[in-house]
Amino acid sequence: MAVETSPAPLDASRLEINAVPNPNPAPDIDDPDVMKVKTFTDRMITASWTEERGWANPQVVPYGPISLMPSASALQYATQCFEGMKVFRGYDGRLRLFRPLYNCERMLKSATRISLPAFDPQELLKLIHKLCELEAPKWLPKDKPGSALYLRPTMIGSDSSLGFKVPEEAQLYIFMVYWPGPKLVTVNGGAALQAGARLLASSVSAVRAWPGGTGSAKVGGNYGPALAEHGLAKKQGYDQVLWLFGPDRQITEAGATNIFVIWKTLSGALQMVTPPLDKDGLILAGNTRRSIIELAQDMFSTETASKELQCEVLERKITMSEVEEASSNGRLMSVFVVGTAFWIQEVSEIGFDGKSIEVDIGVTTHVPLLRERMTEIMFGKRESDWVDIVQES
């Protein structure tokens, strides 16, 4: 991992807090702007960097526009990266962040991948904690447990030179938006989303990531080119694109989420598989992905789980031909996608080469059990060292 070499390092202890002249009222959960993800909190944190001076004092400022020249590096050469994470109001009244240092470390990797300045992830985490401390109590009141705010730390190259070069100026900013919770129903005794997601496999000519590219970094340049294929999928009634790679139609990601498949092997054993984080760098190392793998390995171990729950958890390449074969043989038990924004959602259909692969929801209890365990941890019903408690004044 890159280390910070700026003349002045990013230092959360130098944070300066400015007043908000016209604070907004906290929204009703059914407000249309909440569903459109347009309801932002009153304040954000900003910090500027220059190659000559390093990081300036971070500032807490009212949420609003940022100033950029039209020639800014981020606008011209896509020197932009970001993170996505949530702060949760628990049923015990406390605020929690879920494994937030992982996101801060991943943002450092993304930033240095596109030549933006390095920083100490612990200092970024301190700034995130402070913003949550200032804003979350109002927007996530204690009488509304089970709610969450989405945080978007972002860094952009703000250098105004039109020359193609490593940016000599950058801006970091962290803002928060009210996030609507998923609507859950009961399926076979467990919580599930109202409808399974429908995925459309990408065409041979459309590629999200490639070996040596930026697929493993969370940079804006990964998302803009994917919107055309996403738009085509939406017009056909699908929710997300299932991104495939290579002549063997290798599964990589689903939209902006990681994907898991549960199937039976030819011998009848149950497996949960997800694409690997390998040298090709096609997969974003999701925080939810990592947590699901670790929980599944613990909850469904052949040594401790009941026979019907025992499941081998593997990270390996998956091809669409394998999924098709498992479906035709009745061995495909479940497909689900995971991510900070989209949570844990089961898949009901995959469109591939003009055919439809139907996936029954609720055949196994593994996904509802994982969702329940994650919810318990995030909202304080189960103690875990995966969470950071946010202090409130």
Element (H, E) at 48: strand 43-50
Give the tokens for residue 84: 């996505």
User: Residue 316: what pLDDT?
Assistant: 97
User: Residue 2: what pLDDT?
Assistant: 65
DSSP alpha helices (H): ranges in 7-165?
32-35, 73-77, 100-113, 121-139
Evaluate whether 86 touches 189 at the Cβ level (below 8 Å).
no
Among the candidates 131, 161, 181, a domain finishes at: 181
The residues near 209 (Cβ < 8 Å, ≥ 6 apart) are 215, 216, 222, 243, 245, 252, 253, 281, 282, 283
Q: What is the CATH number of the domain that holds 118?
A: 3.30.470.10
Give percent of the chain with pLDDT exceeding 70: 94
239-257: pLDDT as tens digits: 999 999 999 999 999 999 9
Evaluate whether 56 touches 45 at the Cβ level (below 8 Å).
no
Q: Rounded mean pLDDT of 97-123?
A: 97
User: Residue 24: what pLDDT?
Assistant: 86
Give how many domains the chain has, as a whole number: 2
SS3 of residue 6 by DSSP: coil
Please give the angle made by the CA atoms of 181, 186 and 191, to the nearest 5 degrees.
Answer: 50
253-290: pLDDT as tens digits: 999 999 999 999 999 999 999 999 999 999 999 999 99
193/167 same-domain check: no
Among the candidates 134, 160, 181, a domain finishes at: 181
Q: What is the CATH number of the domain that holds 237?
A: 3.20.10.10
The residues near 257 (Cβ < 8 Å, ≥ 6 apart) are 240, 286, 337, 338, 339, 342, 345
16-42: pLDDT as tens digits: 999 898 898 887 767 777 777 888 999
- Using the structure block, give the residue that is written with the tokens 């930026």: 214
> How high does pLDDT run on average in the chain?
93
289-312: pLDDT as tens digits: 999 999 999 999 988 889 999 999
370/317 same-domain check: yes
**269 within domain boundaries:** yes
Instruction: Give the predicted TM-score (pTM) of the model.
Output: 0.93
173/236 same-domain check: no
User: Residue 192: what pLDDT?
Assistant: 47
Is the pLDDT reported for residue 382 higher than 90?
A: yes
45-55: pLDDT as tens digits: 999 999 999 99
- Using the structure block, give the residue that is written with the tokens 């202890």: 13
Is the pLDDT reported for residue 194 higher than 60?
A: no
Q: Which of 187-201, 231-245, 333-347 has the lowest mean pLDDT?
A: 187-201
360/275 same-domain check: yes
Using the Cα atoms of residue 123, residue 128, residue 129 and residue 134 in order, give the sign of their dihedral. positive
